[in-house]
Amino acid sequence: MYKNLRWKLLVIAGLTALAIGVSYPPSEKVRLGLDLKGGVHLVLQVQTEDALKVETDTSRDQLATELASAGITIGGVRSTSTREFVVDGVPPANDPQFRTIADQWVGATFDRVSQGAGAYAFQMRPGVARQLAEDAVTQAIDTIERRVNALGVSEPTVARYGQEDQIVVQLPGLRDVNRAKQIIQTTAMLELKLVEDGPYPDQATLLQKYTGQVPPGMQVVPGVSDDPRNPATEFYLVRDTAAVSGTDVRNARVSTDEYNRPAVAFTLTSEGSTKFSRVTAANVNRLLAIILDGQVRSAPVIQEAISTAEARITGTFTQQEVQDLALVLRSGALPASLTYQESREVGPTLGQDSVRAGVIASVTGLAFVTLFMLVYYQLAGVNAFVSITLNLVILLGFMAYLDAVMTLPGIAGFILTIGMGVDSNVLIFERIREELANKKSARQAVAAGFDRVFVTIIDTHVASLIAAGFLFQFGTGSIRGFATTLFFGLITNVFTAVFVSRTLFEFMLSRRPAGATQLSV
């Protein structure tokens, strides 16, 4: 009897039993992708001009602040587009100092163009605009990915799509599509701004003392009264520049307010806490508006300097709304707004049909392959059938154990695995035939056949593994599904073609005389 044959058979039986155990029943143990399980497919476009506008407005306000700190009085500063702002009324005596400050604070991002008579236009540099747009899309992908992961969606796909500013989002098995779309699209722009005037019941009353015009450096923001008995719309006049913004938020969680209504508590970063403490210390007894996506959610009175990093957003929220708000605040604000270019739902019925068709194709392919092997290689074809079948069983076990997602291209990978198994067995069987033709005994022919083909099988499979790795690294969605199945299929095929098939030959030969030369191959 062949040496170590018993433990080889035990290893094969053990791995087969383990694979069946972790993957049975497949309908529950193997996770399906969007094309098999159903779900939602979205294509969104990032409005990159929003990110450019934020940069322009921030640079404008920063320059205005630095000029005021330097004691330079100007006529005004205003944005004229998403990529340009204008400063006018610069005193001639302060012009050299103005240019120095402008170059220091915004010179890296904007080109300064003189318009005569103390006026300057600051135009965003094209290279900077392209980089900001690129960063906005990248940040949007990261933010959306964090949000859909928090929804508990299995293996979501979030990646670039088509044009440079488009993103594809695939959410397998999702049921509440509208909620997911709302969470994905919510900008979640959190700002804490000092209230200059208000609240008033309407905008006209608020601006009455300002001759109907919004003062420079200010803006009117609507809100809802904190009184649960009278949740009327109110209007506030607040500063343009936020004292604290959503980028200063470290964490957010569900809480309640003094009326036991749902609220969101958030924690600031160390830098945000420092800014918050400085602003509250300098503005005791003033209102601080907590603004979310352009709406005042609450406007508490600053009673004393607040050194803690904790704060809270109150308002007329439902429990589901505060959960979603806490989620989007934790995942970070989107750098720009999103618009839906495509929204497509994949029904589970279509997925079931795809699974059924894939199973039928796999079984049919295995049946025809087995028939060919039995006709051409006679009893050795049984060996090939067993090794290929075990290959598929162990591959399915790999997919279930590693929680990999099965997609429609993944099923194609299964069928390709059958082809790779056949290819490996044909190489081995043909080599054994050559050895038998050279008058070697059956045992010598099997040993020589496997030993000489082993290097060839390893070479071809390593090359294919490298290709599968590149497909997984640089592919998205269905391509990754195919690469995953291909990768594990290559690993299992080496084991079954070399180890399992050889063990089966050795088992058959162990029951024959040592000098036998006849072998059905």
CA distances from 428 to 23, 313, 448 (A): 30, 70, 10
Domain boundaries for CATH 1.20.1640.10 within the chain: 5-37+347-509
Mean pLDDT, to the nearest integer, of 289-301? 78
User: Are the C-beta atoms of 485 and 406 separated by less than 8 Å?
Assistant: yes
Half-sphere exposure of 193 (CA within 13 A, CB side): 26
Average pLDDT over residues 475-482: 73
| Alpha-carbon Rg for the chain in angstroms | 34
Mean pLDDT for 74-89 is 90
CATH topology of domain 48-128: Aspartate Aminotransferase, domain 1 (3.90.1150)
What is the pLDDT confidence band of residue 324, given thresholds at 50, 70 and 90? low
Q: What is the pLDDT of residue 156?
A: 76
pLDDT at 349 over 60: no
pLDDT of 317:
67
How far is the C-alpha of 459 from the C-alpha of 478, rounded, in Å? Answer: 27
Residue 30 phi/psi, 5-degree rounding, is -100, 120
Q: Look at residue 268 in the predicted model and tell me its pLDDT.
A: 74
Q: Going by C-beta distance under 8 Å and a sequence separation of 6 or more, which residues neighbour residue 325?
A: 188, 252, 264, 292, 313, 317
Phi, psi of 162 (to 5 degrees): 60, -115
**Helices first, then strands: H and E counts in the chain:** 16, 19
Which position has the higher pLDDT, 355 or 16?
16
The answer to whether domain 5-37+347-509 has CATH 3.40.50.300 is no
Task: Kindly tell me if the per-residue pLDDT of 10 is higher than 60.
Answer: yes
pLDDT at 477 over 80: no
CATH T-level assignment (fold) for domain 186-342: Gyrase A; domain 2 (3.30.1360)
Mean pLDDT of the chain: 81
- If one compares 125 and 117, the residue with the highest pLDDT of the two is 125
Residue 379's closest CA among 521, 507, 179, 279? 521
Question: Which of 33-42, 113-122, 407-416 is the least confident region?
Answer: 33-42
Please state the pTM of the whole predicted model.
0.56
Helix, strand, or coil (residue 440): coil
Q: Residue 211 pLDDT more than 90?
A: no
DSSP string for 185-206: H----EEEEEEEEEEESSHHHH
* Edge-to-edge strand list for the sheet holding 110-116: 76-81, 84-88, 119-124, 110-116
Q: For residues 116 and 89, is the Cβ–Cβ distance under 8 A?
A: no
Residues of the chain with CATH 3.30.1360.200: 186-342
**Beta-strand relationship, 31-32 and 405-406:** parallel
Confidence check: pLDDT of 311 > 70: no
Query: Mind listing the pLDDT tens digit for each residue in 43-56?
Result: 889 888 988 988 89
DSSP for 453-494 reads HHHHHHHHHHHHHHHHHHHHHH--THHHHHHHHHHHHHHHHH
Burial 380-411 (b: 16+ CB within 10 A, else e): bbbbbbbbbbbbbbbbbbbbbeeebbbbbbbb
- Strand-by-strand arrangement of the 262-268 sheet: 249-256, 262-268, 310-313
pLDDT of 110 > 90? The answer is yes
The model's pLDDT over 236-252, given as tens digits with 9 standing for 90+, comes to 998 877 777 766 776 67
Over residues 141-161, the mean pLDDT reads 74
Ranges for all domains in the chain classified under CATH 3.90.1150: 48-128
Q: What are phi and psi of 38, to 5 degrees?
A: 90, 170
Mean local confidence (pLDDT), 296-304: 76
The span from the CA of 20 to the CA of 29, in Å, is 10
pLDDT attached to residue 111:
94
| Percent residues over pLDDT 70 in the chain | 85
- In angstroms, rounded to a whole number, what is the distance separating the alpha carbons of residues 491 and 251? 43
pLDDT of residue 350: 57
Helix (H), strand (E), coil (C) string for 45-110: EECHHHHHHHHHHHHHHHHHHHHHHCCCCCCEEEEEECCEEEEECCCHHHHHHHHHHHHHHHCCCE
**Worst-scoring range by mean pLDDT, 18-32, 131-145, 185-199, 220-234?**
220-234
φ/ψ region of 198 (left if φ > 0, alpha if ψ in -120 to 50, else beta) reads left
Reply yes or no on whether the pLDDT at 272 is more than 80: no
How confident is the model over 418-446, as pLDDT tens digits?
888 888 988 898 888 888 888 888 888 88
Tokens of 221: 């923001």
Categorize the per-residue pLDDT at 520 as very low, low, confident or very high, splitting at 50, 70 and 90.
low
